[in-house]
Every structure is written in structure tokens, then in C-alpha cells.
Structure 1
Amino acid sequence: MTDTKPERVTGVGALADRFDAFLIDQFGVLRDGRGPYPLAAETLSRLKAAGKRIVILSNSGKRSIENDRRLAKLGFDPESWDWFLTSGEVAYELLKAEQGAREGKPPQRCLLISRDGDTSPIDGLMIDRVADGASADVILLAASEGDIHPLSHYEALLAPAAKRGVPCLCTNPDKIMLTADGTAFGAGRIAELYEELGGTVRWIGKPFADIYAVARDFLGATPASRICCIGDSIEHDIAGAAGAGLSSLLVTTGILADASDAERAALFAEHGAVPDFVADGFVWDEAV
């Protein structure tokens, strides 16, 4: 990390000539737990109309197509992004690739922890879903219902699996999530709990390398110097961009909406990553 301070910009319009592609976070940038941020859909469409390649890069345990549908229902134009890449999609493809090695063996018993009854992380795979950690062969942490259940609920569910050394795959590393009523602990916090209980976790999503490698592969020959990541989390979006050798824009909406400049600076130091740019939100120009 350097001691340089991020350049303040009035919006993404100021970056349109500097980059050819953008990796844009979903929650905290385009929307919160209640719905879209003002001007977010318009700004995304305008960025696409400027000829930019756009990948929405999300720590969502849901498959990509589920997020495509959800964002379109909120009023975003599906033509305004090239691909909605989720950590859930990356994990699904990894699990699918591993199925070949299990040919002839009985299906894995999986404790899937998700949200809204979502089973897309395991649909179509040779996996049987179980209801508790005591009988699971693998744990899949796709989402949190931290706004419904306390952390102790997950501790009781997971402790038997951790004691048996059952492997865990966390497909949503976010430790804080945005809900209609504010913030709650995310799947990443549940994964931390599993490690605290003695279990082993494989992390998929930002800030880890797998999801950036898949995004870079999709963008083909676009050089790193012409790709900018946009997010609201220093721990996930900004640190992830830095680890991937990409530029970044921090928007001060989302989980850090109430943070002071000093608090954000402390997080830069804690996570060893400073964004190249900072803006008040995902707008084309804040003066508009």
C-alpha cells in the first residue's frame, strides 16, 4: 500500500475516457436492500452506451442468471451489462468440474445455507441436500439470513460438521450485508464462525483471485491498465482490485455510507489497499 490519497471524482463519467472495461459491484453500488440507488440504472446504461465492456461482479451465492433477472426486475436494462458474474457462478462451475471425479460414487450430502429458498447453487449437480451439519459431507455457504437468525443459530447448525472436519465452501465472502432494514451479518461472517469452530473454508469471490481470473478471461485482451473496479467495500472490492492489479473507484454508499474520511483511511491501512478514485455514488456526474 502507498501513502497516496485517492483522486476525488464527480462520477463515473470522469473515468469513461480512462478505461475500456468496468467490473462493477451490485449491492452498495447499484442498489441497497430496498432497491436501486437514484440514477444508478441510467448511469449504467450511459456507461455501456459509451462503448465500455461491463461485468457486474458480485459476491452473490446465487447463480448469474438469478441475479440477471433480479436486477432487470428492479428496472435496470439487461443490455447495459455484458455479463453478471457472481461468486456463486464461479463456485458452481468448480463443483460441476469436480463431479467427473465422483462418477460412480453416491451423491455428496450437502448442507446448503442460502436465502429465499434458493437452491440454484446445487441444482443439476450430483448432490443431495441435508438439513444439518451432522450428516453433511460438505457445507456450502451461499447466503445469510442474519436478519432472521442470530449467529448462535448457525453455530448450532455447523458445530457438528466442524467437529467432523467437513470441508466448507463459502461462495459469498461478504461479512456484512444490506437488507431492507439496514445491515446484518453476511455469509462471510458465518464462514469465519466455521473457522472459529475448527472447520476449514475455501473462499470464492472478492477479494480472492478466482473470480477476477474468470472476469479477466471474459474480457480477453483488455489490458489491466484499462480495467477499473467499482465497489463500496474496501475489504472486498478495493483490496480485491489491488490484488488483481486493477484500478478501483470507491463509492461512499453501501456499507460505508456513514463512515468518516478518517474511518475509511483506517480501513485502507487495515486492508493494505487504497482506491485510485473516490466518488459519492454511482452517478455519471454528481452535478447532474
Structure 2
Amino acid sequence: MTRIIERLSQIGTQYDALFCDLWGCLHNGKQAYPAAVAALQSFRQGGGKVCLMTNAPRPNALVIAQLDRMGVPRDAWDLVVSSGDAAQDAMFAGAVGRKVWHVGPEKDDGFFTLVPPEWADAAPITRVALEDAEGIVCTGPFDELTEAPEDYRARFLLARQMGLPMLCANPDIVVDMGETRIYCAGALAEFYEDQGGSALYFGKPHPPIYERARRLLGLGEGARYLAVGDGINTDILGARQEGVDALFVTGGLAADAMGPDVENPDPELLQEWLATRLQDPEYSIGRLR
């Protein structure tokens, strides 16, 4: 049974490093949460390492720039690992071919233009029309504020008939941008699979992003990790699959199901909600603080 805690400091000394989610935990897509920032700073001051682990479909340099714009101080984290990093590795390795149809907004162009140094000598990836593509790279809807997966039915049916594999750069289904819930690449990839297509995933809860984080943290065997996040099928499932403890932030995506006080989840509602999803994280907290 999950233990509801009030502050990260109650359990922080048990762990060497955090895999901490961004959207719904550290910020809401528009502004940072001061209490969450303070909690991460305190964890680091106590000797812990903080890896901000996000399913953002962009290289970590762009994620860091966004954090800077939100005013998240750099002493709140040690490194940032994004789904975009892991997915870029696969794309430049040719996982879905070298001529790809990009499904996503212009803000994700850096996924293609910011080539990691280790892939500088790789054959280029060219974005082409669907009819000329060898594969699909999906970073999200073209217009995330207005579009839903159903809007892609005709194009995805054609892509499936062409046998195009899809690389999904963000396994999240939805996120909350301020007060607006928007679809992510994971929703489109799931819809494509429903149409008979095939998709490859590289963010949480899939192994590549955790392998990258562990390698960059360099803590070695025996390190104790705590995954922090509000995504039950990404952060919490990923933690279970990786064999690490989890802290479920109930005041994120699932806030409406946890009672009237976002800071203090109703224990009975929380247990019932977790049971229906076959998840039992070690800890839960209303908001990261």
C-alpha cells in the first residue's frame, strides 16, 4: 500500500539520485512550482543527484532553455535527459529510414537540426512528404491546441498501407499546459497502432531513457534511485519495470480523481484509483515539495 508523504525530505536520505519528471511535477508547461524547485535544491544540498527525466520530444539543450525561461535555477538539477535524446539516437541510427515524414509542430524542429556530436558524420535525415517517406517521426500533433488523434485517420491509414514504421519521440498520451490538456505523440502512436501500424518508443516507461540517465549519472552499481512523477503509465510503470522505487505526484494528471485538496490526496480515493490501474508506488504526495 502506497505511503502518503508530505515532503520529499521525509524519504530523500534513502536515495542517491532522483529521476524527476517535469510536466506536472516541476512545472505546468508555463511556470515552475517554487516548492518543487526548493525540494530538489534541498535534495542536492544533502548530497543527492537530480536527473530531470522528461518525455519532451526535444534534445535536452532545448529543454534546458525552456527551464531557464521559466526561472528554474540550475542548482536544482544535475542533468536533463529527454525522450528526444534517446529517440534522436534511434533516428540517426536509421531506425525508420533516412527519408521521414515528420508529424509535429515547428517548435520541435530542433529534433532534426540539432545533430548530436556523436552523429555528426552520419548520413543526413531528410524530411519529406508522406508519399515519399520511408518512415514517420512523430513528436506530437501539428497543432497541439486543436488537434486530436482522430484527425490523422486518413493519413495514418495511408502510412500503414505503405508499411511505414513510426518513431514516437514522446510516449506521453496527454499533458496539461497550464489549464489546457493537450495530446502528445504517444496518443498519435497509439492511434497509429490501432490502425494496424507499428511504432517504436524511446521515452518513459521504455528502457533506453533510463539506460542513458544511469550512464550519464555515473553512480555505478548499487546506487539507490527514486523515480518521481505524475504519469501512472510512464513514470510509475517505468519505475516498476526498472526495479526502482517511485513517488507518485497525485496533483498532476490525476488531480481531479484525488479529492478537493490537490495538496492532500484522499487516501481512499487514491488507493482505489491505484488499484484499478494495478499500480502500487512506494510513496505518493499531493505536490512535489
TM-score computed with the length of structure 2 as normaliser: 0.86
Identify which range, 5-14 or 35-44, moves more after superposition: 35-44
The secondary structure found in structure 1 opposite 2:111 is coil
**Contact 1:178–1:255 (Cα < 8 Å) also in 2:** yes
**Contact 2:140–2:183 (Cα < 8 Å) also in 1:** no
Question: In the TM superposition, what is the alpha-carbon distance from 1:266 to its structure 2 partner?
Answer: 5.0
Out of 272, 275, 285, the residue aligned to residue 281 of structure 2 is 275
CA distance in 1, matches of 2:193, 2:269: 27
| Equivalent residue runs for 1:1-288 within 5 Å | 5-98=1-94, 108-123=98-113, 124=115, 126-131=124-129, 133-144=130-141, 145-223=143-221, 226-260=224-258, 264-266=270-272, 268-283=274-289
Identify which range, 237-246 or 108-117, moves more after superposition: 108-117
Paired residues in the alignment total 272
**Contact 1:19–1:226 (Cα < 8 Å) also in 2:** yes
Q: Mark the CA change 1:204 to 1:6 in structure 2 (over 3 Å): closer, same or farther.
A: same
Question: In the TM superposition, what is the alpha-carbon distance from 1:244 to its structure 2 partner?
Answer: 0.1
**Contact 1:234–1:267 (Cα < 8 Å) also in 2:** no
CA distance in 2, matches of 1:159, 1:183: 26
**Contact 2:139–2:184 (Cα < 8 Å) also in 1:** no
TM-score computed with the length of structure 1 as normaliser: 0.87
**Contact 1:225–1:247 (Cα < 8 Å) also in 2:** no
Query: Structure 1 regions of 5+ residues with no counterpart?
Result: 284-288
CA distance in 1, matches of 2:281, 2:245: 7
AA at the equivalent of 1:192: E
**Contact 1:225–1:246 (Cα < 8 Å) also in 2:** no
String of CA shifts for 1:23-47, please: whole Å, max 9, x gaps: 0000010011332124222222222
Identify which range, 157-166 or 217-226, moves more after superposition: 217-226
The secondary structure found in structure 1 opposite 2:158 is helix
- Over aligned residue pairs, what C-alpha RMSD do you find? 2.2
Identify which range, 263-272 or 26-35, moves more after superposition: 263-272
1:286 maps to what in 2? Answer: none
Question: In the TM superposition, what is the alpha-carbon distance from 1:270 to its structure 2 partner?
Answer: 5.0
Question: In the TM superposition, what is the alpha-carbon distance from 1:11 to its structure 2 partner?
Answer: 1.2
